[in-house]
Amino acid sequence: MLTDSCTTRSTPAQAAYYATVKPEKKEPQWHRFHGSVTINARMMAGDAGKIMEEVVKHLTTLYGANVQVTLEIQATVPGGVPDATVRTVTENCRTLRFEGFGFEEE
């Protein structure tokens, strides 16, 4: 008679033990991060550098991570923007390859 030496059977005591053992809870597996913050326009270099060191760097060092950082600028000038400033900002935005930009009347 042939027997299968790989087959094992549990005793009633073992079966009762395994029935009461709860599987370990797995930690959540996070896959995405998002965040936004308002930074001081006059201290932008320092604030952006701190954000890079404290947040972005930790994400970009993860294998396979695709990290995108977007800078959004909003300015309201009650007295109006001079034409020379409009030309300078517009040209600089083109040179820096802004995805979208523009001035509005109101």
Domain-embedded: residue 53: yes
- Indicate the number of domains in the chain: 2
E-only strand ranges, 1-106: none
Tell me: do 57 and 78 sit in the same domain.
Answer: no
How many degrees, rounded to 5, is the angle at CA 39 between CA 35 and CA 43?
145
Domain-embedded: residue 9: no
Tell me: do 65 and 86 sit in the same domain.
Answer: no
The Cα 85–Cα 30 span in angstroms is: 44
Tell me: do 36 and 67 sit in the same domain.
Answer: yes
Domain-embedded: residue 78: yes
Pick the range with the lowest mean pLDDT from 7-16, 78-87, 89-98. 7-16
| Mean pLDDT value across residues 71-85 | 96
Tell me: do 79 and 105 sit in the same domain.
Answer: yes
Tell me: do 88 and 98 sit in the same domain.
Answer: yes
Domain extent for 35: 31-72
pLDDT band with cut points at 50, 70 and 90 for residue 1: very low
Instruction: Spell out a b/e string for 27-66, using b for 16 or more CB atoms within 10 Å of the CB, else e.
Output: eeeeeeeeeeeeeeeeeeeeeeeeeeeeeeeeeeeeeeee
